[in-house]
Amino acid sequence: MAGLRFYNFSILLVLFASLLVATSCHGLSRNALFIFGGSLNDVGNNNYMETAIKANFLPYGETFFKNATGRASDGRLVPDFIAGFARLPLIPPYLSPDNNDFTNGLNFASAGAGALTETNVGMTISLKTQLSFFTFMEKNLNAKLGEAKTKTLLSRAVYMFGIGSNDYITFATRNTTELPSYTREEYVRMVIGNLTDSIQEIHSMGGRKFGFSNVGDVGCSPFLRSLNNARNNGSGCMDEVTILAELHNKALTKALKKLERKLEGFKFSIFDLYAASKERIDNPTKYGFKEGRVACCGTGPYKGNLSGCCAKTVCDNVSDYLFFDGVHPTEKANYQFARLMWSGGADIVKPYNLKTLLKKI
């Protein structure tokens, strides 16, 4: 498998140092956003890597940006909308050389990433590496701003996580002769363990407010319906991924409640992406979509093929579709999810929505 190599990384570090100098000249944002995860949150980090996992070609980005930005959708992602609701600018990708001020936050997410380092190894930025980038940023902030200002910025910030689906897709579709054998429960514990380790490390650096999306109903995405059709001659969802997602979501809620008791000042919001996505897959017209099972662009059954065929097979009206490609939502769907995450009720986001969490001291 191709090794991971970042373009002009030394140049990025020089630019990053210049960025820190600029930061010291400005007042601190009250509520920065630091974003971690996979393709649902990646706003372009993979553009700066040698990897096949990227969305740097049209029609990705066409609806809002009019060009491909690296976002795996026709337009904005959930973090983009959350930033807007919080009256922040779009949060830039960490690896972009164009950053000039990150007091509003940074986005470390990488398409294909998992909580486990082994997931898509060599082709993405794992959660562990995302955290190392954050740690590098924190040390440089301390050097440039001083510990007091850095502590204030980090304690007021919200840390958004959306990760896990790639781990479970990898596990469910693995070649069992190549990977170690784990039970479902053992595998979920490893994923949750890596995620909670990351949370605790950020907490140790001053982070207090965390926003999470659980794993959505990815087993019923066009990609996995198509794969199930090819492998098992099935016509429905890939049940193994659905089972893993449900186990993960229960374990995540339990783990966060445990951390709330353990970590001083730890507050969290967890959005039930599984319920929100399942509801729209099953009842698309209720939410303004005409199609909840077939993607807007792609080939094969359900247009679920992720081989890069989107450019030639895009739909006529993207707003009719829940899924843009085989696994990623359209901008319209992302807006709906973001609105629920931001201001939804306790039936879909708890114990706080993000709007309330941002106001917590």
Active centre residues (catalytic): 39, 325, 328
Helix or strand or coil: residue 218? helix
Tokens 């689906």 belong to residue: 165
Other CB atoms within a 10 A radius of the CB of residue 42 amount to: 30
Residue 193 makes CB contacts below 8 A (sequence gap 6+) with: none
The 8-class DSSP code of residue 28 comes to P
List, in sequence order, every residue forming a beta bridge with 161; answer none if it has no partner.
36, 212
Question: Reading across the β-sheet that carries 105-107, which strands appear in turn?
Answer: 105-107, 33-37, 158-162, 209-213, 267-271, 349-350
Residue 123's H or E segment, with its range, is none
Answer for the pair 47, 54: CB distance below 8 angstroms, yes or no.
yes
**Could you give the CA distance from residue 170 to residue 166 in angstroms, rounded to a whole number?**
6
Residue 267's H or E segment, with its range, is strand 267-271
Q: According to DSSP H, which parts of the chain are helical?
A: 9-23, 78-85, 127-145, 147-156, 165-172, 184-204, 222-232, 239-262, 273-282, 331-343, 354-359
**Could you give the CA distance from residue 348 to residue 165 in angstroms, rounded to a whole number?**
19
**105 dihedral zone (left: phi>0; alpha: psi -120 to 50; beta):** left
Q: According to DSSP H, which parts of 31-164 are helical?
A: 78-85, 127-145, 147-156
**CA 316 centroid distance within chain:** 27
Structure token pair of residue 349? 């986001």
The 8-class DSSP code of residue 143 comes to H
